[in-house]
Every structure is written in structure tokens, then in C-alpha cells.
Amino acid sequence: MSANGSANGCNGKSSTVDRRHEDTNGYHKHEPIVTNGHVTYQQNGTKQRANGGQHERNGTVTTGVTTTTTTTTTGRTVTVEEAPFHIVLCCYLSYAVLILFGYLRDFMRRTGVERTTSAVETGRDGYVALYKSFESFYTRNIYRRICDAWNVPIASVPGATIQIVDRLTPDYNHTFRYPGTTTDAINMGSYNYLGFAENTGVNVGKVEDTVGKYAVGVGTTRHECGTIDTQQELESRLAEYLGVESSIVFGMGFATNAANLPTLAGKGSLIISDEYNHASLILGCRKSGASIAVFKHNDMKDLESKIRLNIIAGQRRTHRPWKKIIIVVEGIYSMEGTIIDLPEVIRLKKKYRCYVYLDEAHSIGAIGRRGRGVTDYFGCDPRDIDLLMGTFTKSFGAAGGYIAGRKEIIDYIRQKRIDQLARNSRYFRRRLKQLGFVVLGDDDSPVVPVMIYFLSKISCIIRSVVTKGVGLVGAGFPATSLSTGRVRFCVSASHTKQMLDKVLDVMDEIGDRVSVKYSKLPKSDEIIVY
């Protein structure tokens, strides 16, 4: 794989977002510069200062709003609204109260005042305790009370609408009782970007025919007798679809990252990883035995700085040159909703002769004029990316399978769905912002995180929207830092405008009731056209 070629291999759009990050899993901690109460962010030559007074941005003046404004090498400007200080403070105080009462309840359990309903270790004298970490304490005393808002069972395919299984709990979510009823809801929580999660239609018939012919597994490894003609056809078509020379398929997306990164890097190699990379990428990097450097999320200046410093310093202790340097990034970050600044990543890769590993789990099929992911979105040559990774479980509604037909028909269906997804994503995001919510990510991203901050409010929102026929996903600690809890919408091409408007009306009502419309940006009366 060559790193030579023009640095201007892409056309189109780019986005960079720099956000505060709290250290997790041994990764570096990055904070904005704070001087005399003023917050200053510096990135890609663009500086934005917010001090509670007035400041000018893009020709308009806003008051009392802390924002991060960044301009990328391709000229795109992205503004992210920071959480107000009093919200962050209250969020930490609420956790402090919960933790204090958690320790009090643990004491009451040990003394027999309160009944213990969690797992208890017995007969393990001399063994290291299994349930002494903070994560166990958090699960036992905080998460347990709100876990009914997570891991919600459904009784249907995860299409545009779902049937949520009703359940009741008599003991604060330690056990559940199922009355045998379901609630119909608009599905805003599944990675069903192109709307292929269905159990009726022509595609389903083809899947059934294939399962009838080949069964559901081969019972052996690919290296022995486990390679069949449909796998080879899939790999051939996938390579052609992506515009690369070859491909190989695996049975699980998480394992694709976790198991294959160690085969690409080892001792003497350097992996430079985005701080918000998925857990599967982090696990693969750690298993590889390579040295790891972390750069600020989507910050190309910090990435270049990390590359330069590590090239100069060389390997740890010996200072010999690195055997290889691999930049590991994602196409769309599912927790942030941001799109990688791929043109700049490619430029740096060519400038410093690095390799690029691009995880397109959330971008393949979901963005780009032809639905071919972030390379298609920016108009980049996919051959400039050394390793493209993706999954079939999100946009394509499959697991280890791929549906194909006549080229002109597939192209028509794919283009129609891609255009619909882009329209839905932009409309839904702009309306949420207009309602006063703090929304992260790019306008073109189908992953729409809305900042809620408080864990109790996240669970309250999830419970409330279900009663009104909407299903969505919440994310809190440890998936996020303590003060960056959020709910997350996943927009699909199968959502109609009526569905999106219903979700917006529900969020508008609940947002006022729960007081989570934290945005201080000026409200716009503009009529947003679908």
C-alpha cells in the first residue's frame, strides 16, 4: 500500500469538533484553555472566545453563549454549544448525592438493615473480590434504579416502527413482570439507516432461499472447509462496491476491529487513535502490543502534532524509527454525530507516510452521493485509505449477508433511500435545534445526540417518550463521562415526515416539562422546509 500521490485527493465537505474530554480508560485528558474565567479554543487557525458577554460569529452577535467554532481545511465551519457551567455543576452535585446515598445503603446492607438483592460472593476466602470496583458500585446503587430505560425488549423487527414489550417491576428493576402487552412506537433508536430491517418483501424471500440452501452456518473455519461460493461472491462484490482491490468478510463487526488490528500492528509500531474511537477499536489497539498515542477528537492540528512528535522521538527507550504508524479513525462517530475530516487525514497520511485504518460502521451506506460512506461523501479516492472497515448490521440490515440485484434497480433504490436519509437527517436536526435543544454533530449525520447531562432526566425522558409512542436510546456513564449524558436518535430513510414531526412534538413537550432545552443560542423563527 503506497502513501504516495496528490494530497488533494478529495473534494467537498469537512467538519472538525473540539470538545472537553474527561480521562477514561487511561486515555489523555484534554481541556480548553481557561484564563481569568474566559474559555478559549484554538483549532486549525480559527479562534473563538466566549466570556459570557457578546461575541461575533458568522456575522451575527450572540450573548452569553459558550461555543466552540472550528474551520476545517476545506472551508467548512462547525459550531458546538458548550454546556453551561451551572448545568455541569448541578450534574456533578447530583452524582455526588447519589454516590453518598449509595455508600449509606451499602453500609445498611452490610449491617442487615436493608435486604441485599445484588449478587453476593460466598466461599471465596483468599480470592480477589469480583465486585469491588466503582463500576459495580455504580451498577448496584445508581444504574439499577433506571435500568428499565435501557435494554428495552422489543417484539418486532427494528424498522421505522417497533413494538416495545411492556414490563412492570415491583422492586426497583431487580426483577420484571411481563403482562403480555406491547406498545407501538416510532423507532428512533436503531441503526437502521436505509430502512432495510424488515421481515417482508423480495429481499426476505431471497434470504430464506439462501438459508434453505446453505443453512445458517458452515460449522468450521474459513481456513479449513468454511469458505463457500456465496462468501466469495460477497467479497468480490463488496470490493467492487467500495472501489478497492479485495475484501474479506467476518461474522461480527466488533471482532473485526478487535481481532484484526493486532494482526496489522505490533511491537515497534505506533497507533495514533482518535480519543472518541469505539470500544472495539480501543480493544484492538491495546491487544496489538503497539504503542498508542491519542489525539483530540477530529482535531487535525493535534493529530499532526502527535505524528511529528512521535516521528522525532521514535520508539520508547530505544528511539529507533517506528516500523509503521497507523492512524485509526471512524467515518461517523455514533456518540458525537461528527464526520471525520477525511481530506485532512489523507493529506497528513501522505505527508508523513502513515497508514490509515478507517472504521465505516456508521457511515457505509448512510452518507455519500452513492451511499459508499465517508470517502464518497468527500469525493475521496478510496484507494487513498489503506484499510476500510465496515459492518452489514446498520445500513444494510444484515449480519454477514448482502442483497444484490440488477445494477440499475439497485442503484435506483439505493439513491432514493440515500436522498431520503439525508433529507430526514437535516430536517430533524434543524428542528431540534430550533426547539432549543443542544444537538451535537454534523447536519448530514443520521446519528443525532441531544445533550441531557443528568442521568435521572435521561431515564425520565426515555420512559416518557415510550408512553407517547416513541422509542429512543440513552447514553450515560460509563459510555460517556459523568457530565455528558445524552439521548440519541438514529434517523432512518424509512421515517416519514409525519413520524419525525410526531417525535419533535413529543420532545418539545417533554423538553419543557423536564427542563432540558439548554441551548442559549438565539431562537430562529425560520420555517424549516422538509
For residue 394, give the CATH number of its domain. 3.40.640.10
Model pLDDT for residues 201-240, shown as the tens digit of each residue = 777 888 888 888 888 877 776 666 777 888 888 888 888 8
318 lies in the same domain as 359: yes
pLDDT at 177: 93
AA letter at 356: V
Is the separation of the CB atoms in 88 and 22 below 8 Å? no
Does 143 reside within a domain?
yes
| Residue-wise pLDDT tens digits, 124-170 | 778 877 777 788 888 888 888 889 988 899 999 888 899 999 999 99
Least confident of 5-19, 270-284, 394-408, 425-439: 5-19
144, part of any domain: yes
Instruction: Give mean pLDDT, residues 234-257.
Output: 81
Q: Report residue 500 as a C-alpha cell.
A: 419525525
Predicted local distance difference test score (pLDDT) of residue 176: 93
pLDDT for residue 454: 92
In a domain, 272, yes or no: yes
In this structure, the answer to whether residues 237 and 271 fall within a common structural domain is yes
Expressed in percent and rounded to 5, the helix, strand and coil fractions of the chain are 35, 20, 45
| pLDDT higher than 80, residue 383 | yes
Report whether pLDDT(277) > 90.
Answer: yes
Mean pLDDT on 490-503: 88
Q: Residues 6 or more apart from 389 whose CB is under 8 A from it?
A: 256, 257, 260, 357, 358, 359, 360, 361
Residues 370 and 433 placed together within one structural domain of the fold: no
- Structure confidence at residue 290 as a pLDDT band (50, 70, 90): very high
Greater pLDDT, 265 or 76: 265
Domain CATH for 431: 3.90.1150.10
CA distance 491 to 190: 8
pLDDT at residue 417 tops 50: yes
Half-sphere exposure of residue 471, counting CA atoms within 13 Å on the CB side?
A: 26
What per-residue confidence (pLDDT) applies to 21? 37
**3-state SS class at 59:** coil
Which of 149-158, 180-189, 426-435, 519-528 bottoms out in mean pLDDT, i.e. has the lowest? 519-528
What is Dmax (Cα atoms) for the chain? Answer: 72
Sign of CA dihedral 229, 234, 239, 240: positive
Q: Measuring CA to CA, which residue among 513, 462, 509, 522 is closest to residue 486?
A: 462
pLDDT of amino acid 493: 80
Residues 434 and 474 in one domain: yes
Which positions ≥6 away from 132 have C-beta within 8 Å?
A: none
Strand partners, 183: 164
Residue-wise pLDDT for 294-343, tens only, equals 999 999 999 999 999 999 999 988 999 999 999 999 999 988 889 999 99
pLDDT grade for 502, boundaries at 50, 70 and 90:
very high
The one-character DSSP state at 114 is S
Distance, first Cα to last Cα, the chain:
43
Residue 94 grid cell: 447530583
Of 383, 405, 427, the position where a domain reaches its end is: 405
Asked if the structure places residue 74 within a domain, the reply is no
The average pLDDT across 409-438 equals 79
Res 5 pLDDT > 70: no
- Assign 349 to helix, strand or coil: helix
Which of 380, 405, 430 delimits the end of a domain?
405
Contact 264, 358 (CB under 8 A): no
Final residue of a domain: which of 363, 385, 405? 405
Most confident of 32-41, 175-184, 393-402: 175-184
With a cut of 90, say whether residue 30 has pLDDT above it: no
Which residue bears the cell 424549516? 528
101 falls within a domain: no
For 322-334, the pLDDT digits (tens) are 999 999 999 999 8
pLDDT tens digits, residue range 441-488?
Answer: 888 888 899 999 998 999 999 999 999 999 999 998 888 888 899 999
Cell (9 digits) for 350? 501522505
Residue range of the domain that includes 169? 132-190
Residues 390 and 434 in one domain: no
Confidence of residue 66 (pLDDT cuts 50, 70, 90): low
- Bridge-based pairing of strands 387-389 and 355-359 is parallel
Q: What is the pLDDT of residue 100?
A: 95
Instruction: Please give the mean pLDDT across all residues of the chain.
Output: 80
Evaluate if residue 263 carries a pLDDT over 70.
Answer: yes
* Region 391-416 average pLDDT: 55
pLDDT (average), residues 424-449: 91
Asked whether residue 288 falls in the same domain as residue 352, the answer is: yes
Q: What are phi and psi of 488, to 5 degrees?
A: -135, 125
9: pLDDT confidence band, cut at 50, 70 and 90? low
Question: Whose CA is closest to 27, among 297, 265, 289?
Answer: 297
Do 287 and 382 sit in the same domain of this protein?
yes
pLDDT of residue 222: 65
Looking at the predicted structure, is the pLDDT value of residue 50 above 70? no
Distance CA 459, CA 199 (A): 30
300 occurs within a structural domain: yes
Average pLDDT over residues 69-91: 75
| Distance from C-alpha of 186 to C-alpha of 176, rounded to nearest angstrom | 24
User: What local confidence, expressed as pLDDT, does residue 196 receive?
Assistant: 78
Asked if residue 5 is part of any domain, the answer here is no
User: In this structure, what C-alpha cell is assigned to residue 56?
Assistant: 461575533
- Same domain for 447 and 393? no
Which stretches of 330-406 are DSSP H helices?
342-352, 374-378
SS3 letters for 281-325?
HHHHHHHHCCEEEEECCCCHHHHHHHHHHHHHHCCCCCCCCCCEE
In a domain, 321, yes or no: yes
| Whether residue 456 is found in the same domain as residue 400 | no
Tally of domains within the chain: 3
- Does residue 397 sit in the same domain as residue 421? no
Distances (CA, A) of 40 to 67, 77, 313: 9, 17, 29
Same structural domain for residues 244 and 327? yes
Yes or no: say if 166 and 186 are a contact pair by the CB < 8 Å rule: no
Helices (H) and strands (E) in the chain, counts: 13, 18
Q: What is the pLDDT of residue 412?
A: 54
Shared domain check, 177 and 245: no
Task: Check whether 494 has a pLDDT greater than 80.
Answer: no
Residue bearing the bigger pLDDT, 37 or 247 = 247
